[in-house]
Amino acid sequence: MSVRKLKPVTPGQRFRVVNGFDAITTDKPEKSLLVPNKRSGGRNSQGKMTMRYIGGGHKKKYRIIDFKRDKAGIPATVASIQYDPNRTAFIALLNYQDGEKRYVIAQNGLQVGQNILSGDAVAPEIGNAMPLSAIPLGTIISCIELRPGQGAIMARSAGAFAQLMAREGRYATVKLPSGETRLILVNCMATIGAVSNSDHQLLVSGKAGRSRWLGRRPRTRPVVMNPVDHPMGGGEGRASGGHPRSRKGLPAKGYRTRTKTKASNKYILERRKK
């Protein structure tokens, strides 16, 4: 993994830092795993804008990712590591021995030609998926399920990883990327290793136009709005006092919005650090 700083041949390139894409082995996706991805532009079925700051952007097709890793005991060979426009992590194309092809989230250090497996009686090696009950304590994991059979929903973005801390009875203690420590059922699946493309956080767009290519429209800061538009708007001159809050008046930056009576609170052993 590496990043490249471009030469300042134009104002937009002056501060631009791009991904080196060293890990990528092909630029041609597997056609059988592509589906159309229609854009909403932030509009609902009536054509009314319900989400601001969304619209435009380059066309892209969705890659069907196997988050469940439910082909237990069937070896798969990593055919290629590919770029996915729908996520920050890289993806790996797997060729299973029974002839099926699937995309999975690529882990850091996954190599083309490597064999990976999923199931209970599997070695805890990078790329292998196994239940938390079979993973050695202290192992770095990613792509974690929260409910058995649900499919991975945690630690899926570029460079993300969690750590298996302990096991007791039906539950395993996992330290998540946010810093939160929580209990997860031991029959939930997780993948060994951290997610690929950890250099994603070092990238610099260089110009506003790149945000437009990604489908993001310009965002107006609340402080420069009028009082009719936002609680933080208005004031004489460059007024930016008052308490930070959302458009609906909920305090931001430190105000806890999690329900005190939420059923899953009992599974959280330690909240994330502020």
pLDDT per residue over 8-45, tens digit each?
Answer: 999 999 999 999 999 999 999 999 999 999 999 999 99
pLDDT in tens, 157-197: 999 999 999 999 999 999 999 999 999 999 999 999 999 99
Q: CB-side exposure of 260: number of CA atoms within 13 Å?
A: 0
* Strand ranges of the sheet holding 115-116, from the earlier edge strand across to the other edge: 101-105, 91-96, 76-82, 115-116
Domain boundary among 170, 201, 232: 201
Q: Tell the burial category of 45 from Cβ atoms under 10 Å away from its Cβ (0-12, 13-18, 19+).
A: exposed
What is the structure's pLDDT at 241?
A: 81
pLDDT band at 239 (very low <50, low <70, confident <90, very high): confident
What mean pLDDT comes out for the span 37-56?
96
Whether residues 135 and 184 fall in one domain = yes
- Phi and psi, residue 224, nearest 5°: -95, 5
Residue 147 lies in a domain: yes
Whether residues 117 and 86 fall in one domain = yes
Whether residues 158 and 243 fall in one domain = no
Whether residues 89 and 164 fall in one domain = yes
Residues 57 and 211: their CA atoms lie apart, in Å, by: 8
- Phi and psi, residue 115, nearest 5°: -95, 130
State whether residue 94 is helix, strand or coil.
Answer: strand
Residue 228 lies in a domain: yes
Whether residues 57 and 166 fall in one domain = yes
What mean pLDDT comes out for the span 87-91?
97
What is the structure's pLDDT at 242?
A: 86
From the CB of residue 91, how many other CB atoms can be counted at a distance below 10 Å? 24
Number of domains in the chain: 2
Whether residues 127 and 167 fall in one domain = yes
The domain that holds 248 is classified in CATH as 4.10.950.10
What mean pLDDT comes out for the span 206-214?
95
Residue 218 lies in a domain: no
* Strand ranges of the sheet holding 140-142, from the earlier edge strand across to the other edge: 129-131, 189-192, 140-142, 162-168, 171-175, 181-185, 268-270
Percent of the chain surpassing pLDDT 70: 99
The domain that holds 145 is classified in CATH as 2.40.50.140
Whether residues 195 and 111 fall in one domain = yes
Residues 116 and 120: their CA atoms lie apart, in Å, by: 13
Residue 217 lies in a domain: no
Whether residues 186 and 233 fall in one domain = no
Residues 138 and 200: their CA atoms lie apart, in Å, by: 25
| Residue 230 domain boundaries | 223-268
Residue 214 lies in a domain: no
Which residue type is seen at 80? S
Domain boundary among 146, 169, 201: 201
Which residue type is seen at 196? S
Residue 273 lies in a domain: no
The structure's pTM equals 0.92
Q: At residue 274, does pLDDT exceed 90?
A: no
Residue 274 lies in a domain: no
Burial 5-23 (b: 16+ CB within 10 A, else e): eeeeeeeeeeebeebebeb
Q: At residue 98, does pLDDT exceed 90?
A: yes
Whether residues 58 and 178 fall in one domain = yes
Q: At residue 240, does pLDDT exceed 90?
A: no
Residue 60 lies in a domain: yes
Whether residues 150 and 77 fall in one domain = yes
Whether residues 157 and 227 fall in one domain = no
Whether residues 48 and 148 fall in one domain = yes
Residues 171 and 187: their CA atoms lie apart, in Å, by: 9
